[in-house]
Structure 1
């Protein structure tokens, strides 16, 4: 069975959203299922050159820039994907300690990692409240 596809979108400030986009390789359908409600059309979508990103950007009506990692090009001016790659690396390293996570629980683990990655909840009491569905750090006052 192919592994789950985890899609991460991250901006330069570290704001991150990630999704379990299904099984197998990334596709334009997976991008259309996850991103339209999260990103605006007026941003520049920066990717690692996977063809699905270019098709999605064209169909969604947004600008797209890619770096060709296979050719060893990691940066083109201010365009790079290092922020997302670093996040994926930390996520993979952290998940490896669990020796495999069932797909049905993967979204829970992504939420847990989201909390830890940006130190959104730093107290045991805050983490307990979050596990019970109370997210005071997300409430607008």
Structure 2
């Protein structure tokens, strides 16, 4: 209301200047998105055609294009996480800034002037795109440390649970490692490239290792792990040398698993601040730990090119 009264106190010339500034900012944001989306030239998101594309007017401030090959009408946000959004790009930038500073959903919603549910959905729209980018690009090579961490299955925020509900922090109903826990298998090389996901329920298996790291580990890499036999057999299967760190020892020459242990410690500390993370979203938070882009403009350029996954078909336990 204070802002409203302040605007009302402006004279017509000042109001005109304010409107010009806001429109210029909005136009600049749109132009930046167009450049980011079509940095290699215009293309149709439906048929991939790069020719016979013409301008097709404006709608809601967006320059539209039409593909004469298939008839598809599109703009710079078509098939991206921004498609269908009713908020200005400046709000998204403000949201990303809050996210990079690890603000809570409640605080972020207040700062951006959006609903808490919207703030939560936006978080996972962005993390979906980063996760997709990581899946396509991350390759591990050289000395690679691998290990697993375990988290109790969480149905936080869900209804019609497949088991009786219980309070956060309740111990698993089975002792030790069991199918009541998800196994998060992670790997990190000496170049600080990391990759981790929910691989299976309970103890790690060779099959789950093959699925998780398929085409992701370079030939002639050296895999360093604890004494779990699954890692030795997996290494033999992909033709990589395996170095085993015996129980009770910290290193074997230049080989150790200190980096992966540090990674898991960092992951658990990071997750603790969210007061429990639903298992269906756990993979996104794993990506957030080490693969989040920390520059707003760079992050906007990346996420404006891809679409998020549907929220309706996410598995409660996203085992690969």
The TM-score bracket by the shorter chain reads 0.7 to 0.9
Change (3 A) 1:43 1:115: closer
Q: Which structure exhibits the higher relative contact order, with contacts defined as CA atoms closer than 8 Å and separated by 6 or more residues?
A: 2
Distance in 1 (alpha carbons) for counterparts of 2:268 and 2:288 = 13
Q: Which runs of 5+ in 2 are unaligned?
A: 1-178, 307-320
Q: 1:126 offset after TM fit, Å?
A: 5.0
2:224 maps to 1:46: yes
Q: 1:42, 1:65 → 2: CA distance?
A: 13
Distance 1:6 1:126 in 2: 29
Does the residue aligned with 1:86 lie in a helix, a strand or coil?
A: helix
User: What's the C-alpha RMSD, in Å, of the aligned pairs?
Assistant: 2.0
Distance 1:41 1:13 in 2: 16
2:251 is the counterpart of 1:75:
yes
Q: Deviations over 1:38-77 (max 9, x none)?
A: 1023111111121110111112221100101x3x211110
Superposed counterparts of 1:22-61, under 5 Å: 22-61=200-239
Residue 128 of structure 1, CA deviation: 6.0
Match of 1:99 among 269, 275, 294: 275
Structure 1 residues 62 and 88: alpha-carbon distance in aligned structure 2, compared to 1, 3 A threshold: same
SS at match of 1:98: coil
Partner Cα distance (1:113, 1:131) in 2:
17
Q: Find out whether 1:16 has 2:194 as its counterpart.
A: yes
Shift of 1:127: 5.2
Q: TM-score, normalised by structure 2?
A: 0.37
CA distance in 2, matches of 1:57, 1:77: 19
1:19 & 1:85 partners in 2: Cα distance?
Answer: 15
TM-score, normalization by structure 1: 0.79
